[in-house]
């Protein structure tokens, strides 16, 4: 593939600008269709601490409560503006995520996992559903476990190279186990849609005995949070734009990160640029040395 080459810092900033473009398209679409959404995770942290991207961050995350998420996915599947498209495990071969993404068409964002999965991924914004949790603590733990397991198995099915939590000998062992699990899943699972089916069955099976606490079940990386801490949304500045964030943003960030105001030491600032980014305008960044 040809195209002009750029260095990593230029590529990171250009990636952020493209992701911001997608984010603003989503914001306009949600306003048009009266869909409530909010900046999530590190994107919400960036808004609170930097009024924009965390300088070394390379992705954008947003979220919606389940009702808005389902309506967004239904409408966005056909009605996004030209040049942008909705992607899920249901409509995109090789897609391992059990949550939605909006791509900028004509671009490419390729990491080791997507390459192994044969997934032609564009530059994207992640969209996570937040689901209300059962009141019963046993049932709650079971549903969180089953939903997150479905997501982990989907990642393991689609790629043998996945991120592991440790380095050194333990990390090598974890990678070996993941590769073995990948082989077993590829042999035993005929249709990867089974992972989305398992996740959807957890959500659909929640029933009526639900609390006012919610969580993103595909990636339960914080303690459950009350819906009143999220809605009605507040507003924060992100890259010069007033965008929705959780109602009690400080509580949300403390719940997810602890002391979120503390900027990490330089050695702890991680940018996870992929193997290749094609910006669709003749500019290509590669990291395949």
Average pLDDT (53-65) is 95
**DSSP letters spanning 197-219:** HHHHHHHHTT-S-EEEEEE-TTS
Q: What is the pLDDT of residues 191-215, one digit of tens each?
A: 999 999 999 998 876 567 899 999 9
Q: For residue 83, give the DSSP letter.
A: T
Give the pTM: 0.93
Q: How far apart are alpha carbons 178 and 163 in whole angstroms?
A: 9
Average pLDDT (161-167) is 68
Closest CA to 246 of 8, 72, 44: 44
Of the pLDDT bands very low, low, confident and very high (cuts 50, 70, 90), residue 175 is confident
Q: What is the pLDDT of residues 84-138, one digit of tens each?
A: 999 999 999 999 999 999 999 999 999 989 999 999 999 999 999 999 999 999 9
**DSSP letters spanning 132-195:** EEESSHHHHHHHHHHHHHHHHHHHHHH-S----S--HHHHHHHHHHHHHHHHHHHHH-S-THHH
Given a cut of 80, whether residue 171 has pLDDT beyond it is no
**Pairing assessment for the beta strands 4-5 and 283-286 based on DSSP bridges:** parallel
């Amino acid at each position: 593939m040809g195209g002009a080459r750029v260095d990593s810092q230029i590529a990171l900033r250009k990636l952020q600008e493209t992701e911001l473009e997608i984010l603003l398209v989503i914001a306009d679409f949600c306003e048009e269709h009266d869909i409530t959404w909010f900046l999530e995770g590190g994107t919400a942290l960036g808004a609170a601490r930097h009024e924009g991207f965390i300088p070394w961050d390379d992705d954008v995350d947003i979220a919606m409560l389940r009702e808005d998420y389902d309506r967004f996915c239904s409408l966005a599947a056909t009605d996004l503006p030209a040049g942008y498209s909705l992607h899920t495990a249901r409509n995109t071969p090789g897609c391992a995520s059990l949550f939605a993404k909006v791509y900028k068409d004509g671009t490419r964002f390729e990491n080791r996992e997507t390459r192994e999965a044969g997934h032609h991924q564009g530059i994207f914004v992640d969209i996570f559903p937040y689901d209300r949790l059962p009141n019963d603590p046993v049932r709650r733990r079971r549903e969180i476990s089953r939903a997150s397991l479905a997501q982990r198995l989907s990642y393991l099915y689609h790629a043998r190279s996945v991120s592991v939590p440790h380095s050194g000998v333990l990390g090598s062992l974890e990678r070996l186990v993941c590769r073995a699990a990948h082989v077993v899943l590829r042999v035993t699972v005929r249709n990867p849609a089974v992972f989305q089916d398992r996740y959807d069955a957890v959500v659909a099976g929640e029933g009526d005995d639900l609390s006012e606490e919610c969580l993103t079940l595909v990636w339960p990386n914080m303690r459950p949070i009350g819906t009143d801490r999220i809605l009605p949304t507040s507003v924060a500045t992100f890259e010069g734009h007033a965008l929705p964030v959780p109602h009690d943003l400080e509580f949300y960030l403390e719940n997810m990160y602890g002391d979120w105001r503390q900027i990490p030491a330089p050695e702890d600032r991680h940018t996870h640029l992929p193997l290749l980014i094609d910006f669709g305008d003749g500019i290509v960044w590669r990291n395949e040395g």
